[in-house]
Amino acid sequence: GKSLVVAVDGPSGSGKSSVSKAVATRLGLAFLDTGAMYRSVAWHCLNGRISFADAAAVEAAARTVKMAQSMDPGTEMFTINGINVTAAIREPKISEAVSAVATNLGARAELIRRQQALIAEHGRRIVVEGRDITTVVAPDAEARLILTASEEARLRRRGLQLGGTQSAEQLAEQVLARDAKDSTVVDFQRAADGVYTVDSSDLDFDATVDAVIAVVRRAV
Ligand code: C5P
């Protein structure tokens, strides 16, 4: 079919992952979760006792790790060297460690290269979600948008996602501190030229999916 890359960036807790998956399902596109790739490298380093302080070792880990993900938006599945890490990469210890991978420029270059290869392999019929997709990974995407939400909405959603097991302080640390760290490498809060913004603070899930689909239709 015709090339349709939908690039979605945004902060954590903006709902971009579940919204992007639903958009991919509705449009019949593949789905690529790039954050899961950063998380997978972090998991691999922790599991293999690779020190995050050793930038060359982290970069080498990003280059050599065998990771795969189901790019069917209806199936969530991540493997590293054949091990199912779907739940493990969502653990708080990974969220806390992942910025060491995200701020490693060699590791980033490698993951960006892999992401671009995956987009090509899927015939450029894909929704790609992350922090630097609209600007770095796929600046040539047919539709580019930033999904934002107020700090309050993001903390509430992440809290629900984690099943109310975290205190307000833990949540704030995980969501806001991670965004602050991420902002040092990629500017995902401000839409670049030609990039649409969808603010989901006052929209429910279905309305957010509709708003994103409307942006895609307007853009193509
Ligand atoms: O989206 P998710 O919260 O799973 O992303 C995990 C981490 O991966 C982010 O906090 C960020 O540090 C990093 N990341 C990135 N670039 C992307 C996607 C994620 O730096 N495109």
Q: ipTM score here?
A: 0.99
Report the nearest-CA residue for atom 19 of ligand 1.
35
- Measured from the CB, is residue 34 less than 6 Å from ligand 1? yes
Has residue 160 got a pLDDT over 90?
A: no
Name residue, tokens 């998380």.
39
**Ligand 1, atom nearest to 108 Cα:** 20
Has residue 177 got a pLDDT over 90?
A: no
- Measured from the CB, is residue 9 less than 6 Å from ligand 1? no
pTM for the structure as a whole? 0.94
The pLDDT tens digits for 60-85 are: 999 999 999 999 999 999 999 999 99
**Ligand 1, atom nearest to 17 Cα:** 1
The pLDDT tens digits for 15-33 are: 899 999 999 999 999 999 9
Residue 158 has a pLDDT of: 80
Rounded Cα distance, 35 and 122, in Å: 18
The pLDDT tens digits for 82-126 are: 999 999 999 989 999 999 999 999 999 999 999 999 999 999 999
Give the DSSP H or E segment for 67. Answer: strand 67-69
Buried b (16+ CB within 10 A) or exposed e, 23-61: bbeebebbbbbbbbbbbbbbbbbeeeebebeeeeebbeb
Neighbours of 167 (CB within 10 A): 10
Has residue 165 got a pLDDT over 90?
A: no
Report the nearest-CA residue for atom 2 of ligand 1.
35
- Measured from the CB, is residue 38 less than 6 Å from ligand 1? yes
Annotated binding site for ATP: 10-18
The pLDDT tens digits for 179-193 are: 888 888 888 778 888
